């Protein structure tokens, strides 16, 4: 009986140590991969840049397909048109 207690007592906390070691390995791998991707222009040009442009245009103009004067010339910008009646409509051009 005494042997079992000493064996359990010496192994208590082993699973916690194993979980921490696995956690440190995973965090280390994520840090290494993120540093490699940060220095890689390929990842930036093909993944990050389109996402940032999509989010910027979507936030700024309400649609990711629209560009304004800040990007050169407006393309597909929302326009205010006045039909034959007295009210006006805000519409998105059909060409985009």
Compute the distance between CA of residue 30 and CA of residue 53 in angstroms, rounded to an integer. 25
Condensed to tens digits (0 to 9), the pLDDT of residues 16-47 reads: 999 999 999 999 999 998 888 878 777 778 87
pLDDT at 7: 55
Residue 15 dihedral angles phi and psi, to the nearest 5°: -65, -35
Condensed to tens digits (0 to 9), the pLDDT of residues 53-72 reads: 888 878 877 777 777 777 77
User: Would you state the structure tokens that stand for residue 74, as one six-digit string?
Assistant: 């407006």
- Tell me the mean pLDDT in the region 78-91: 57
Q: Could you give the C-alpha distances from 34 to 27, 63, 85, 89, in angstroms and in order?
A: 10, 30, 58, 47
- Classify 89 as helix, strand or coil: strand
């Amino acid at each position: 009986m005494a042997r079992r207690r000493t064996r359990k007592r010496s192994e208590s906390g082993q699973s916690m140590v194993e979980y921490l070691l696995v956690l440190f390995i995973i965090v280390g791998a994520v840090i290494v991969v993120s540093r490699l991707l940060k220095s890689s222009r390929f990842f930036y040009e093909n993944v990050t840049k389109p996402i940032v442009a999509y989010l910027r245009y979507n936030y700024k103009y309400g649609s990711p397909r629209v560009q304004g004067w800040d990007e050169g010339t407006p393309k597909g910008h929302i326009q205010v048109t006045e039909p034959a009646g007295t009210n006006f409509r805000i519409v998105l051009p059909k060409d985009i």
